[in-house]
RNA sequence: GCGCCGGUAGCUCAGUGGAUAGAGCAUCAGACUUCGGAUCUGAGGGUCGGGGGUUCGAAUCCCUCCCGGCGUACCA
């Protein structure tokens, strides 16, 4: 990436100016090389002179002049340099460099945008992690897509990523027992038994559906069964059915995990006891009121947290300690947990528990996403209140389609509430961002198709002379294309996958403007220009397809 | 009370300390004998919640106050 070349060149210029006695500073401050919002300020803008001014005891513009004097860059890269405003050094790159990027995109194809900034570091991302006692809801969908696309982005940035779903299936947990009981009651009711359904049971229709399924499949064989055994069996059957259902829905959403990690396995493998023992051994726990506590306040938590209840059962935190310990033991350098807004209170204790285990809490990144509100006809659709309202993730996908659902979940930053406009998501018009972007791709495909239909041989991108590309719309499109690797890197570093939807829209817009201004196949376009534009259009297609692929959204040839 | 997330154009929201704060929608005004008008162009619209501070420079960092959402379990 050219940016890194520029950063290195400026750092070298500063050092050389220092050695020559023209500039004084102790350590080189961090500085930025960025694309200015206003294209009049060049391709890149450097703020080094300004951040260096106070140390150098010189006016920023004077520092800039000194830096410019010592700056060495390949001639084919830099066209000119300007010192502007309070001391910005603005760089105007040679068009030939931009032309080279277009060819580089063709050379790299599907790999364009990928970088190796992650250097193969192993990262484990855990997301969705729903309880195996019900269907996936809309918020799960948001978490699923944030996680899925973040993983795509990290992989593209050179990290080695694993995707994991944590199944909260601790067999003794009250919620799983309640779920099993509800299933048993529904089953017995099917055989005419008058059992009142408990207030705190699972009232969802899917419980009844599954009970009826068991009745059809196995008949009345469980009616006379020992109640304790039956509860255990039904809990297990229900859990497996729910996991299968969740896996199926997620797969239809394009979200596939490397591993479904069951909380119950932490007990089966004795990991929970091991984690507790380790904490005890490190002196991080104490007993009080008959319970075992983690001294989490020592590591910044508000209060100490129970690990083992008075009744002897470990808490959820105890499982979580074991799980995170397990993750580190599997060799992951960095852990990412993606949780809903109701879990933010757990960040402090989870990080504290890692610190207590002797791991740097910095290695765990917890991403909290905010609430999702579905909107139809300008009104909020309240989940589950009225018949016909969308409440399940599977129903959302059915109604708006996988592409729109995925795209819309990434329309906003995770930190913001998300108003999901159901009407807009299915609208076939340019105000629907996913259509707008996909249309740009289809339009490009159409140009290339038309060219072939007219019997034109598509030019070899690597052998085409691109010097005809020079007007504002062309240059602006190319610049946007050159941003792509940087966009991926930034999204990966900041854990902000939503940046890609914005980039996709910016790129699509840039293409539509180009399309409007620069005829490719029309009579009036000379052959040399036509070939250069066909090559540019091809590069735009590759980039658009690559960003859509990262988003898990299809890049249609026709719409 | 404490904690987390928001507060930016009429609406929904971008904006990793930089130059004149952006986009979409909505409103108004334009562009099709043409490669896909599912597109493009232009205009109006802002005390970046209020107030202090940090610095060459703050929507961005710090302090404080106000408003909204969520959380504050020996539930998972």
- Contact between A3 and A32 under an 8 Å Cβ cutoff? The reply is no
- Is-above-0.80 flag for pTM? yes
Indicate the pairing of strand A160-167 with strand A122-126: parallel
ipTM over the 0.85 cut-off: yes
**Which range, A16-25, A105-114, A522-531, is most confident?**
A105-114
Residue A400: count of CB within 10 angstroms of its CB: 23
The chain-wide mean pLDDT, for chain A, equals 92
Question: Is there contact between A516 and strand B, defined as CB under 7 Å from any strand atom?
Answer: yes
Q: What is the pLDDT, as a whole number, of residue A384?
A: 43
| Confidence label for A390 from pLDDT (cuts 50, 70 and 90) | low
Q: What is the pLDDT, as a whole number, of residue A389?
A: 55
Tell me, in Å, how far CA of A316 is from C1' of B60? 38
Q: What is the pLDDT, as a whole number, of residue A385?
A: 40
Tokens representing residue A254 in the block: 């394009």
Find which nucleotide's C1' atom is closest to A173's CA.
B76
Categorise residue A209: left if φ over 0, alpha if ψ from -120 to 50, beta otherwise. alpha
Across A83-97, average pLDDT: 90
- Contact between A491 and A500 under an 8 Å Cβ cutoff? The reply is yes
For residues A319 and A308, what is the distance between their CA atoms, to the nearest angstrom?
Answer: 10
- Contact between A230 and A222 under an 8 Å Cβ cutoff? The reply is yes
Question: Is there contact between A117 and strand B, defined as CB under 7 Å from any strand atom?
Answer: no
A172 pLDDT higher than 80: no
Question: Is there contact between A224 and strand B, defined as CB under 7 Å from any strand atom?
Answer: no
- Contact between A428 and A502 under an 8 Å Cβ cutoff? The reply is no
Which domains are delineated in chain A?
A: 2-93 (3.30.1360.70), 99-116+429-551 (1.10.730.10), 122-170+256-368 (3.40.50.620), 174-252 (no CATH)
Please identify which residue in the block is written with the tokens 């978490």. Answer: A143
What three-state secondary structure class fits A269?
Answer: coil
| Confidence label for A386 from pLDDT (cuts 50, 70 and 90) | very low
- Contact between A398 and A253 under an 8 Å Cβ cutoff? The reply is no
Q: What is the pLDDT, as a whole number, of residue A40?
A: 82
Question: Is there contact between A367 and strand B, defined as CB under 7 Å from any strand atom?
Answer: no
For residues A515 and A18, what is the distance between their CA atoms, to the nearest angstrom?
Answer: 49
A131 pLDDT higher than 50: yes
Q: What is the pLDDT, as a whole number, of residue A139?
A: 92
- Contact between A503 and A487 under an 8 Å Cβ cutoff? The reply is yes
> Residue A414's Cα: distance from chain center in Å?
9
| Confidence label for A292 from pLDDT (cuts 50, 70 and 90) | very high
Q: What is the pLDDT, as a whole number, of residue A171?
A: 66
A1 pLDDT higher than 70: no
For residues A174 and A262, what is the distance between their CA atoms, to the nearest angstrom?
Answer: 16
Chain B: nucleotides below 7 Å from protein CB are 2-7, 12-16, 18-26, 34-41, 55-57, 69-76
**Higher per-residue confidence, A218 vs A373:** A218
- Contact between A303 and A345 under an 8 Å Cβ cutoff? The reply is no
A324 pLDDT higher than 60: yes
Question: Is there contact between A476 and strand B, defined as CB under 7 Å from any strand atom?
Answer: no
Tell me, in Å, how far CA of A113 is from C1' of B21? 29
**Dihedral pair phi/psi, residue A85, rounded to 5°:** 55, -140
A369 pLDDT higher than 90: yes
Residue A408: count of CB within 10 angstroms of its CB: 26
For residues A368 and A349, what is the distance between their CA atoms, to the nearest angstrom?
Answer: 15
A136 pLDDT higher than 70: yes
Tell me, in Å, how far CA of A515 is from C1' of B32? 14
Residue A16: count of CB within 10 angstroms of its CB: 16
Across A154-177, average pLDDT: 91
Indicate the pairing of strand A418-421 with strand A372-376: parallel
DSSP-assigned letters across all residues of A162-174? EEEEEE---TTSH
What three-state secondary structure class fits A160?
Answer: strand
CA dihedral A380, A381, A385, A387 (to 10 degrees): 150
User: Helices A472-482 and A95-108: crossing angle, nearest 10°?
Assistant: 50
**Higher per-residue confidence, A384 vs A288:** A288
Question: Is there contact between A173 and strand B, defined as CB under 7 Å from any strand atom?
Answer: yes
- Contact between A171 and A265 under an 8 Å Cβ cutoff? The reply is no
């Amino acid at each position: 990436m050219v940016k890194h070349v520029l950063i290195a060149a400026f750092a070298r210029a500063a050092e050389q100016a220092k050695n020559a006695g023209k500039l004084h500073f102790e350590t080189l401050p961090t500085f930025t090389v960025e694309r200015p919002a206003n294209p009049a300020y060049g391709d890149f803008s450097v703020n080094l002179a300004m951040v260096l001014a106070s140390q150098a005891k010189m006016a920023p513009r004077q520092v800039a002049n000194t830096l410019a004097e010592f700056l060495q860059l390949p001639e084919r890269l830099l066209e000119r340099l300007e010192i502007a405003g309070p001391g910005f050094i603005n760089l105007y790159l040679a068009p030939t460099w931009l032309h080279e990027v277009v060819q580089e995109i063709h050379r790299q194809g599907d790999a364009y945008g990928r970088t190796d900034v992650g250097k193969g570091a192993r990262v484990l991302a855990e997301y969705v992690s729903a309880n195996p006692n019900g269907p996936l809801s809309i918020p799960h969908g948001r978490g699923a897509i944030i996680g899925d696309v973040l993983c795509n982005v990290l992989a593209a940035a050179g990290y080695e990523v694993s995707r994991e779903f944590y199944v909260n299936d601790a067999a003794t947990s009250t919620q799983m027992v309640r779920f099993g009981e509800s299933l048993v009651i529904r089953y017995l009711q099917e055989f005419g038994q008058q059992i009142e359904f408990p207030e705190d049971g699972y009232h969802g229709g899917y419980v009844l559906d599954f009970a009826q399924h068991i009745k059809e499949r196995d008949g009345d064989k469980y009616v006379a069964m020992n109640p304790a055994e039956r509860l255990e069996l039904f809990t297990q059957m229900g859990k497996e059915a729910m996991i299968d259902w969740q896996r199926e829905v997620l797969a239809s959403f394009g979200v596939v995990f490397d591993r479904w990690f069951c909380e119950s396995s932490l007990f089966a493998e004795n990991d929970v006891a091991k984690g507790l023992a380790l904490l005890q051994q490190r002196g991080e726990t104490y007993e009080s009121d008959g319970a075992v506590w983690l001294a989490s306040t020592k590591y910044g938590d508000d209060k100490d947290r129970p690990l083992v209840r008075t009744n002897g059962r470990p808490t959820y935190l105890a499982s979580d300690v074991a799980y995170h310990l397990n993750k580190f033991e599997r060799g992951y350098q960095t852990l990412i947990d993606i949780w809903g807004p109701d879990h933010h209170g757990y960040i402090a204790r989870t990080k504290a528990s890692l610190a207590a285990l002797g791991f740097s809490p910095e290695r765990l990144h917890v991403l909290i996403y905010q609430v999702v509100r579905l909107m139809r006809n300008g009104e909020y659709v309240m989940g589950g209140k009225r018949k016909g309202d969308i409440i399940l993730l599977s129903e959302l996908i059915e109604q708006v389609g996988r592409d729109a659902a995925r795209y819309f979940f990434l329309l906003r930053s995770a930190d913001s509430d998300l108003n999901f406009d159901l009407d807009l998501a299915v609208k076939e018009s340019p105000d629907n961002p996913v259509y707008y972007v996909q249309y740009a791709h289809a339009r490009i495909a159409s140009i290339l198709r038309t060219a072939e239909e007219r019997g034109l041989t598509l030019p070899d991108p690597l052998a085409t002379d691109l010097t005809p590309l020079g007007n504002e719309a062309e240059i602006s499109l190319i610049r946007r294309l050159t941003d792509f690797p940087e966009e991926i890197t930034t999204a990966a570093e900041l854990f902000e996958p939503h940046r890609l939807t914005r980039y996709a829209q910016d790129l699509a817009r840039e293409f539509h403007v180009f399309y409007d201004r620069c005829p490719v196949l029309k009579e009036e376009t000379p052959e040399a220009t036509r070939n250069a534009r066909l090559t540019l259009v091809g590069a735009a297609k590759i980039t658009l397809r690559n960003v859509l692929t990262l988003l898990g959204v299809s890049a249609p040839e026709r719409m």
